[in-house]
Structure 1
């Protein structure tokens, strides 16, 4: 009996059928056409759909394993890196054991790119890629579900609302993460639900309480169980924040109108913008496996935050936004001019919010330094 069938990624024997469903999905085919064909041709479905399907079958027709999917994803990521970044750099990976499974907990700035770039770094260092935690709120469209589960993503059931239903879902999730690690599969999960909108990266203790549910079932002390999980904090830093304008709009709406409700397809737009927008230099800092005697989720959250904040790579724009006294940035430098030009393109009523997104990591480092 497959107790994780409803949340786990696809196995090798499920890949070919999933690819066939994607090729048959008109919505998916139309999306590919929109972003890969001339607009006039993409709009003529009688021509564009057969054309795209033919290309997909040629490229994906022989794909029948998770490893093959991963290699295709790596090639696509290489294109994204080459076309939308100046460079992607990594630190700390050389200090990790290539044969050890880790629970990577990272800050969260982009829906799909964050774990994708973690995988990109692991692949470059000859390490196995991760299984990725993704909220079921993103899986309202069939082809997104197919793509995610093909790409080693497992489902976090955020839509569960009744207390018993929530506890059951979280207990299953906690056990799945633990069993994956024991079987040698590394895991990626964000430090909190949803992306950081204001630049303030902070781990939610509720996430860590979820992880402990399985430890409690095993009657293990929190600190002992945490050491078993081999948690590695990861700090992801984009020179140019993905979807900064959209994040600022959401913050502005909440401030002036209360609750913000996403429009249909908004998450898909964010994913596409994350892939296609200019990101400049991106750095991923992999921390040290946590081995301290953290006795509570709150203590563990602080320990994770300390590594994420201290290792966050600060770009010139971060210093400029924070007007940092120690910023080694010439007022006439290209960095200052480029950042000023970027800010000028932001609507005036949102400019302070976008600036704050870039400034917050500098201020967080100062706060952490002052706390010792």
Structure 2
């Protein structure tokens, strides 16, 4: 793996020195100390320094922190379809993307609880704002997706990542998670980017179907009852509408990460769909690359849509979006009143010039209704 030093997670032998660097970083301490209470910094840093491997770090530091966070910010975290991974097989899991940090973190907690090896995690280098964040994610089995490269460098960078993922899945027999698109789908209208699948084939670009088959893709649906960042996403929509040149700052990214981690999420479900190799096996070897990518993109989306878990508020949002009563039997008047109060409360958190209540309400409703809309479309196929 020497060729992948620029993007790979840490080796076990690198863990002690990186932990010492983290402990001595005042910015890491400033970020971590409020989150570990009532544990003291001395106790926490001592536990960190005792870790000699990635597994030690995940078991001793990440797992207890995440279990405490789950208890505080969710009412339930459930994994469906995990049993088949106890055979030690390796896959690439492709999921919809709701939370910057927690999608992959929750997935690995579910694996840990079920005695399954944790997954490596794809993370964009745009989120590696500080050195301590880079060290921390590499300690937690993350590999880096380079996005801050020139157009000239993009193809080589993408091929390098493709070769790393292929090596990870097929030689090291280590599973990996990657989101279906760059960035979160802020409106929850989840669509797999063909460019992601194209990247995955670059290690064997002349045989795209064979390249994807070797990775054993498994779609994963992630459902949060409440998205703590929903009002931040709606706010960003209006800011971009009012100023097409608007771009989020690093401070905005940090606010989104912090809100997503600490905010209340209610019930959370992770549900696996059917393997994509079933679809790939039916593709003729003479099929063009573009058609292979299109077919697999649609298959992944369909599996994600079919495996969402819904709550009354999702059905209410869909009926409001579509001006229908299709799902009226799935909710009560009390549910509708609670949803209206929730939307009003989230809009109240938004403080921007010229706040457009109607626009923000429409965007928030879409975030909770688009998943049902996509489910309905998948059921018609």
TM-score normalised by the chain length of structure 1: 0.90
Q: Unaligned stretches of 5+ in structure 2?
A: 320-324, 348-356
* Residue in 2 that maps onto 1:313: 309
Aligned-partner SS, 1:368 = helix
2:49 and 2:58 map into 1 onto residues whose CA distance is 15
* Residue in 2 that maps onto 1:10: 10
Matches for 1:1-372 after TM superposition, within 5 Å: 2-35=2-35, 53-71=41-59, 72-96=61-85, 98-163=87-152, 165-182=153-170, 183-216=172-205, 219=206, 221-291=207-277, 292-293=279-280, 294=283, 295=287, 296-323=292-319, 324-333=325-334, 335-347=335-347, 348-349=357-358, 350-370=360-380, 372=381
1:167 and 1:56 map into 2 onto residues whose CA distance is 42
How big is each residue's C-alpha offset from its partner over 1:151-172, in whole Å with a ceiling of 9 and x where there is no partner? 0000000001132x11111111
Contact 2:85 2:116 in 1 (8 A): no
Aligned-partner SS, 2:212 = helix
1:69 and 1:129 map into 2 onto residues whose CA distance is 12
Contact 2:129 2:250 in 1 (8 A): no
Contact 2:166 2:215 in 1 (8 A): yes
Q: Give the C-alpha shift of residue 368 in structure 1.
A: 2.1
Contact 1:32 1:52 in 2 (8 A): no
CA RMSD of aligned residues (A): 1.9
Q: Give the C-alpha shift of residue 266 in structure 1.
A: 2.0
Contact 2:15 2:139 in 1 (8 A): yes
2:34 and 2:69 map into 1 onto residues whose CA distance is 17
Contact 2:123 2:142 in 1 (8 A): yes
2:17 and 2:336 map into 1 onto residues whose CA distance is 51
* Residue in 1 that maps onto 2:322: none
1:209 and 1:332 map into 2 onto residues whose CA distance is 47
Aligned-partner SS, 1:312 = coil
1:330 and 1:210 map into 2 onto residues whose CA distance is 42
2:211 and 2:86 map into 1 onto residues whose CA distance is 20
Q: Give the C-alpha shift of residue 95 in structure 1.
A: 3.4
Q: Unaligned stretches of 5+ in structure 1?
A: 39-50
Aligned-partner SS, 2:143 = strand
1:135 and 1:108 map into 2 onto residues whose CA distance is 13
What is the total number of aligned residue pairs between the two structures?
Answer: 354
2:15 and 2:36 map into 1 onto residues whose CA distance is 24
Contact 2:100 2:257 in 1 (8 A): yes
2:180 and 2:273 map into 1 onto residues whose CA distance is 14
Q: Give the C-alpha shift of residue 117 in structure 1.
A: 1.2
Contact 2:119 2:177 in 1 (8 A): yes
Aligned-partner SS, 1:199 = coil
Q: Give the C-alpha shift of residue 35 in structure 1.
A: 4.4
Contact 2:222 2:269 in 1 (8 A): yes
1:90 and 1:290 map into 2 onto residues whose CA distance is 20
2:344 and 2:262 map into 1 onto residues whose CA distance is 21
1:27 and 1:52 map into 2 onto residues whose CA distance is 16
* Residue in 2 that maps onto 1:45: none
TM-score normalised by the chain length of structure 2: 0.88
